[in-house]
Structure 1
Amino acid sequence: MPNSKNNRKEQEKNRKGKLSEKASSFHGKIPTVAPSDLRRPKTLPDLFSERTISVLPDARPKLTKLLLNVTIQGSLGAVQVVLSPENTVGDLITAAVRQYSKEGRRPVLPSTDASLLDLHYSQFSLESLERGEKLMALGSRNFFLCTKKAASKDGENPTVVLQRSGEGYKERNNTLAQIHEFLVKIKM
C-alpha cells in the first residue's frame, strides 16, 4: 500500500534525476541533440547585398538639422533650437532669443536685439564665439547666451550695455540709498 513517505521518496528520486541532467548542461556537458531535430527557417541572407555595397563607400548620411540647447543668463532652463548645420552663431542667437520670447520665459529680456548678446560655450567661458562661425564647426551643442560686455570709458571695468529698469529696480535702488544714508550718519 503506497503511503505518503514512499510517494515522497519517488518524487525525490525523479527530482534528483532531472537535476543531474540540468547540472550536466550547466557544467559544460551538453546533452546531445541530433542536428536534424533543429528546424531552421528559410532565409535569404543576400537579399539586400546590392544595397549595402552602394552605401559602404564612406558615404555617411549628411546632417540636415541640429538640436541645440542654449541657456540664457538668468533663466532656469535651456531653450531648445533646431537649426541647419550651415547656419552661423548669429543665426543661433537670433533663433534662441525668438524662442525664449515665444515661450514667455522669465526674466523677460530687456531687448530682443541679437547684437546686444554674446554666445559662449558655457557660463564659465570668457571668450565669446564669432558670429560668422558655422554651427557644424563648433563641436558642441550646448551654449550659454549672455549680455554683451562693453569696455567702459575709463577702460577699467566692463559694464553691461543693457540697463535694468522697472518699478522693482527703482524700489531696490531707493532702499539701497536709504541704507547708504543711514550708514553715513552712523559713521559721523
Structure 2
Amino acid sequence: MAEVSMEAKTKLTKLLLNVTIQGSVGAVQVLMSPESTVGDLVAAAIRQYSKEGRRPIFSSDPSKFDLHYSQFSLESLDREEKLMESGSRNFFLCSKKSVVDSGNESGSSSSGGGVTKTASSSSSCSKEAEEAARSGFPWLKFKDFSL
C-alpha cells in the first residue's frame, strides 16, 4: 500500500521547460503537461516569445521551426514524441531547414557513405553547426569520451 501512495505523490502534472530560440537572448519558459508533444511545445514557445514582445520578430507559424536538444544537435526532435519521453527540460528552437535529399546534386556532401541533406537557408542551425564542424576544429567530431 505504501508503494501506491508514493506513486500518487510523485506523478508530475506540469513540466517547466526552457526553450532557447535562435537569435534571441535568454530562454523562454513554458509550463506544459507531460503528455504534450514536441509539436505542442514548439507552438507554446512561439506564443510565449510573441507574448513577451521579444526581438527579433519572426513568423508565428510553428511548422517553420525545428526543436533540438541543444544548438549543437544536428537532428531535430520528432514532433509526435511526448515531452516526458524526451529526457530533457532544456531545448533549442531554430528555423526549419529546407531539406533536399541529395543524390548527385551540387552543394551537397556525403558523410559516412549515406544520403545527406542540404540546408538552403543560411539561418538554419543545422547548417551553422555543420560549418563549425568543418572549420579548424576536427577534434570536436571524433572526441572519445570513454572513461
CA–CA separation in structure 2 for the residues paired with 1:70 and 1:151? 23
SS at match of 2:79: coil
Q: How far has the Cα of 1:159 moved from its partner?
A: 1.3
Give 5+ residue unaligned stretches, structure 1.
1-53, 163-188
Q: Post-superposition, which runs of at least 4 consecutive aligned residues in structure 1 deviate over 4 A?
A: 152-155
CA contact (8 A) 1:89 1:134 kept: yes
Matched, 1:88 2:37: yes
Matched, 1:132 2:80: yes
Structure with the bigger RCO (C-alpha within 8 Å, sep 6+) is 2
CA–CA separation in structure 2 for the residues paired with 1:80 and 1:159? 30
Q: Among the aligned pairs, what percent are the same residue?
A: 64
Query: Which residue number in structure 1 is paired with residue 134 of structure 2?
Result: none
CA–CA separation in structure 2 for the residues paired with 1:103 and 1:145? 16
Greater strand content: 2
Pick aligned residue for 1:68 from 13, 17, 35: 17
- Deviation string for 1:45-82 (max 9, x for gaps)? xxxxxxxxx5x215322100000000000001000000
- Deviation string for 1:106-146 (max 9, x for gaps)? 1111x110001000000000000000000000110000000
Which amino acid in 2 is paired with 1:106?
Answer: R
Which amino acid in 2 is paired with 1:97?
Answer: I
CA–CA separation in structure 2 for the residues paired with 1:161 and 1:86? 34
Superposed, 1:94-133 pairs within 5 Å as 94-109=43-58, 111-133=59-81
Q: Which structure has the bigger radius of gyration?
A: 1
How many residues align structurally?
107
Give 5+ residue unaligned stretches, structure 2.
109-117, 124-147
TM-score scaled by length of structure 1: 0.53
Q: How far has the Cα of 1:152 moved from its partner?
A: 4.9
Query: Which residue number in structure 1 is paired with residue 120 of structure 2?
Result: 159
TM-score scaled by length of structure 2: 0.67
- Deviation string for 1:163-186 (max 9, x for gaps)? xxxxxxxxxxxxxxxxxxxxxxxx
Greater helix content: 1
Aligned CA RMSD, in angstroms, stands at 1.9
